[in-house]
Structure 1
C-alpha cells in the first residue's frame, strides 16, 4: 500500500479487475503501517476480500471507505476505525542504581543515563507504546529496597487486566551467593557486610520477593530487561544459580532478557555513555530493530538486535558479553514503534 497522507487518503498498488463499484475490500492500516496487505503486490480481484490486521494496543487504525479513480490510478479514501472495547494498558517500572550508600559497592557511571533514555523511548509518542503516567522511574536514592517493593505492589494494583503488559528495566549490580541461593538486585541501601556479603540477603531485593509480587499481577504479559553484572542468574540455573525463571509458573507470557552470562561482566562504555546492553536496548526501542519494516518492534526483533550487537561490540572491545534470554510468549509482544515508517 502507498503511504497515507494526513490519515485521509492513500494509494493502492495492484490492478483492479472488474468494475470498481463491484469491488469489496475490507482493509485496515495503522498510522505506522503496521500491516501491509498481502495483496499489495498482487492483483486486487473483483469481490476479493482482504482481512483486517489483528488489533494492536495503543495504535490507531484506518479503514478503507471508498475507491475512486484519479487519472490512470485508483486511490482510496479512509476513516478511523472504532476503538476496540479493551486494548489493554502498558505499564513500566524503570530502576537504576549507579550510586550506593555502602562504599563497598562500586558505583556505576551510566545507570542513570540508561534509565532516563529507556523512559524517553518508551513514552515518546513517535516510538513509545507507554503513557508517561503509567511509567515509574526509580533512580539511586529513590531505589531503596522498601521503595522498590512498594512500587511493585503499586503495579500489582494497576495491571489488573489480562490484556495489560508489565515492563521492567533494571540497571545496577546483581549478586548471587556461591551456595547457589537466591539472586539479588542490589538496591541503594543494600549493605554488603563481610567478604561473603552476609548482609546482602537481608538488605537487597531478591528474585524470590520479586516472583511473589509478579504472581499477583493479573497482566498476562511481563517483560524484563536487566543490565547487571552476573545478571544471567535472573534467567535460569547455570552453575547452581537460582534464577527468576525458577519461580515463574505457567499461564503468562513472560520474557527475561539479561545483559550477560553468569560468568561475564556487563560493560559500561565511556564512548557511548551507557551500559553496552542498555545502549542497544535503547536503539532497538527507537525503531532500529524493526527488521521487517512493519512499523513496530516486537520482542523477537528486539532480542535478535540486542544479542547480535552487544556480542559483536563487546568482542571489538576485547571482552565477552553475551546477552541471555528466557521465557515464553504465545504470540507477538510489541514494545515500540518505528518512527521512520
Structure 2
C-alpha cells in the first residue's frame, strides 16, 4: 500500500513565527498529484494548521499501521527551528517559542516513529529551512542552523529530501501583492511540476524514482534560486518508484489533457490523442510539440513491444478508428473530486460555552471562537476578550483583524492588542460582513445593499463602485483577489477585486449559499442542488441532487468545500458536496451553525431560551480531549421544524394562553375563588405552551 501524509502549517498563534502563504497551497496541489492514480497512486491525508498533539497521533498511527510491503511518504511544509542544543523542531500552529520542546513537532520523534515502523520504505520531504542568508524578493522560513538530514536519516529505511541544506533558507515566492493566486514554494513547485509533467523521469523508463526526482528538483531549484540547494540522503536500497511518468510531455499542456494522455485506460489515452491532434491542427504550438514527442516515442519502440503497458504511461498509439471522447470535464477534474470527497468530520462530545444572540464565528486557524460578547480560545475554551457593545461578524484570513457590528457602525479590532483600529458608518443594522484574502477590503451588507470598504492607512474608505443590491450571498475568496456574488435573479458572478471587473457568470436556480476556494473552485447550493465549477473554465466538476423530503435548506459550505452544512427536520446535517448525501446528522437545532477550518469543532446558538437573555452556545468537538473547558449538559437543544414554522408556533402559543384564559373564565362563572381560578388557568396555559414547544412541533 502507498500512503502519503501531507502536513502544512502557515498560521501561528505565537507572533514570533511569521505567517507563510505557500504551505496550504503546497499541500493541496501536491495532494492532487500524489493521489492521481495515473501519477502517484497514493492514498493521501492532508493536515493543515493542526495542533502538535494531533500531528503526533497521526504520524504514529500512519507509520504504526504500515506493513513490510508498504511505502509511506511524509511531507512537512512550514517553519523549522532548532533548540539550544541543536535539535530540529517543526513549528505547528500552537507552538510557543518559550516552551519549544513540548509544543513543537521534533525531528527525534519523527525518527523514532520511522524506526519503530514495519514499513518497508519511508520517504520524507521537508519544505522548511534551517538557517543562512536570503536574497531580496524571497521570504525565509526559519532563522537557525540545524542539520536536518543528520537528524532524520540515522534510522532504518528512510530517504529524506529537503528544500535546503542545514546552512540555508528555503524560499517561498513573495511580491508587492498577489494578483491571481498564491504560488507553491520553490521546492514544492519543482516536485509538483516534475511529477505532473513527467519531466522528472530523467532516465525515460516511464517511472520517476526517488533519485530521478531529487536530480530534477535540485536542478530546477538551483536554476530558480542559486542560493538554495536541495539535499537528499537516506538508507533505502534499490530503485524506489515515486510516480509513473510515461513519455515526458512539454510544459504548458493543459492538466486536463495531460491526465487523459497519461491515463492507465487505453480508451482515455486515445481520446486524449484525438483532442491533441485537433488542437495541433488549430495551430496550438504546445500541442504540436507534444504530438511530435509522442510520435517520436512510438517510432523508437520495436513493433513487438507495442502492447498494452503494464503500468500507466502516456498515449503512444493512434486510435484505430472513430472514437467519441468522454466528457472532458468529468475526467479532467478527478484530483478536484478527490478534494471534494474528503471525509466529513465526526464529533465525539459536546457542551455549552457561554451565550450569544444568534451568530458564532471561528477564526481561520481554528484557535478562537467568537460568540456573543466573548472571544474564547478553542484550547480549554477560556475567555480571551470581552466586548462592551456589538456582535462579532468575521475574522480576516490571517486572523489579525476581527469585525464587530453595532447599530449604524462597524468596528475593526486588532486581535494582537484587542483594541479598535478603525470604524465605519453603515446604514442601520449589519446583516453580513466579510474580509478579502489580504484583509484590505471589507464587504458589508445592510438594508439590502452590499458596499465595499478599502483600508487606506489607518481608516476604511467606502468605494463608490461597485455597490451590490438584492444579494442572496456574497463571499470573498480567502486565498486570492476574487469576490463571489449570488443575486436574487439566481445569477452567480465572479469578480476580480484588483481591477473590479467581472470575470464571468453562471447560474443555479434557487441558489442560497456560495463559496470560493483557491481561486479555482466555485461552489453553490440551493434547496435542490449542490454544484461545483472550475472558476477558470466554468466547467461543472461536480453536481448532486439534495433529498428534499426531510430537508430545510443549506446554511453554509465548510472551509474546505467538501462539506455542506444544512438544516434538516432531525437536526444539523453535514452533507458531502461530492454526492449530496448526508454523512453526519447532529441531533440538534442550531441557528447558523459554523464548522471550524480544521474540522475539529462545530458550534451554533440554540434557538430556545428565555426572552430576557441570550441563548446558549453549543459546541461539538471531534476529540473528547477538546471538550475540556466546556460546560457539560446532558440534553442538547432538540431538533425541530418549528424554526421554519413560526406561524404554527405562534398560533400554538396564542391557543395555549387563550385556553388558560377560557378555563379561568369558566371557573369564575361557576363562582370559584379568584386565586384558584387564576392559578388553574396559568398552570393549564404553561402546560399547553410546553406541549407546543417540545411535543407538538418536532
TM-score normalised to the size of structure 1? 0.63
**2:223 is equivalent to residue 309 of structure 1:** no
Deviations 1:132-170 (A, max 9, x none): xx3211001xx21101111012113321x2111110111
1:32-51 aligned at under 5 Å gives the runs: none
The higher-RCO structure (CA 8 Å, 6+ apart) is: 1
Q: Which residue of 1 aligns with 2:162?
A: 258
Q: What SS does structure 1 have at the residue aligned with 2:81?
A: strand
Q: Which residue of 2 aligns with 1:171?
A: 77
Asked if the contact 2:152–2:160 (Cα under 8 Å) also holds between the matched residues in 1, the reply is: no
Q: What SS does structure 1 have at the residue aligned with 2:208?
A: strand
CA distance in 2, matches of 1:169, 1:184: 14
* TM-superposed deviation, 1:311: 1.0
Structure 1 residues 227 and 249: CA distance shift in structure 2, 3 A: closer
**2:242 is equivalent to residue 335 of structure 1:** yes
Structure 1 residues 230 and 121: CA distance shift in structure 2, 3 A: same
* TM-superposed deviation, 1:263: 2.2
Structure 1 residues 251 and 258: CA distance shift in structure 2, 3 A: closer
Deviations 1:102-155 (A, max 9, x none): 12210111110100111110011221221xxx3211001xx2110111101211
* TM-superposed deviation, 1:248: 4.7
Q: Which residue of 2 aligns with 1:112?
A: 24
* TM-superposed deviation, 1:181: 2.9
Deviation above 6 Å: which 4+ runs of structure 1? none
1:198-217 aligned at under 5 Å gives the runs: 199-217=99-117
CA distance in 1, matches of 2:28, 2:209: 21
* TM-superposed deviation, 1:92: 1.0
CA distance in 2, matches of 1:129, 1:222: 16
CA distance in 1, matches of 2:81, 2:40: 31
Q: What SS does structure 2 have at the residue aligned with 1:331?
A: coil
* TM-superposed deviation, 1:215: 1.8
Structure 1 residues 223 and 231: CA distance shift in structure 2, 3 A: farther
Asked if the contact 1:225–1:256 (Cα under 8 Å) also holds between the matched residues in 2, the reply is: yes
Q: What SS does structure 2 have at the residue aligned with 1:187?
A: coil
Deviations 1:30-75 (A, max 9, x none): xxxxxxxxxxxxxxxxxxxxxxxxxxxxxxxxxxxxxxxxxxxxxx
* TM-superposed deviation, 1:335: 0.7
Q: Which residue of 2 aligns with 1:101?
A: 13
Q: What SS does structure 2 have at the residue aligned with 1:288?
A: coil
Q: What SS does structure 1 have at the residue aligned with 2:86?
A: coil
How many residues are matched? Answer: 230
Out of 27, 33, 41, the position equivalent to 1:121 is 33
Q: Which residue of 2 aligns with 1:137?
A: 46
CA distance in 1, matches of 2:113, 2:206: 33
**2:138 is equivalent to residue 226 of structure 1:** no
1:47-66 aligned at under 5 Å gives the runs: none
Deviations 1:79-106 (A, max 9, x none): xxxxxxxxxx111110000111212210
Structure 1 residues 173 and 165: CA distance shift in structure 2, 3 A: same
* TM-superposed deviation, 1:180: 3.6
Q: Which residue of 1 aligns with 2:189?
A: 279
* TM-superposed deviation, 1:247: 5.9
Asked if the contact 1:225–1:258 (Cα under 8 Å) also holds between the matched residues in 2, the reply is: yes
CA distance in 1, matches of 2:78, 2:122: 20
CA distance in 1, matches of 2:243, 2:152: 28
Deviations 1:259-318 (A, max 9, x none): 012222211124871110010011122222012222211101000000111011103xxx
Q: CA RMSD in A?
A: 2.2
Asked if the contact 1:207–1:244 (Cα under 8 Å) also holds between the matched residues in 2, the reply is: no
1:19-30 aligned at under 5 Å gives the runs: none
1:179-198 aligned at under 5 Å gives the runs: 179-193=84-98
Out of 292, 310, 315, the position equivalent to 2:203 is 292
Which sections of structure 1, spanning at least 5 residues, go unmatched?
1-88, 194-198, 233-238
Q: Which has the larger radius of gyration?
A: 2
CA distance in 2, matches of 1:200, 1:121: 33
Asked if the contact 1:231–1:258 (Cα under 8 Å) also holds between the matched residues in 2, the reply is: no
Asked if the contact 2:148–2:166 (Cα under 8 Å) also holds between the matched residues in 1, the reply is: no
1:12-23 aligned at under 5 Å gives the runs: none
Structure 1 residues 256 and 100: CA distance shift in structure 2, 3 A: same
Asked if the contact 1:173–1:185 (Cα under 8 Å) also holds between the matched residues in 2, the reply is: yes
Asked if the contact 2:72–2:121 (Cα under 8 Å) also holds between the matched residues in 1, the reply is: yes
Structure 1 residues 305 and 280: CA distance shift in structure 2, 3 A: same
Which sections of structure 2, spanning at least 5 residues, go unmatched?
133-143, 176-181, 246-261, 263-312, 315-698
Greater strand share, structure number: 2
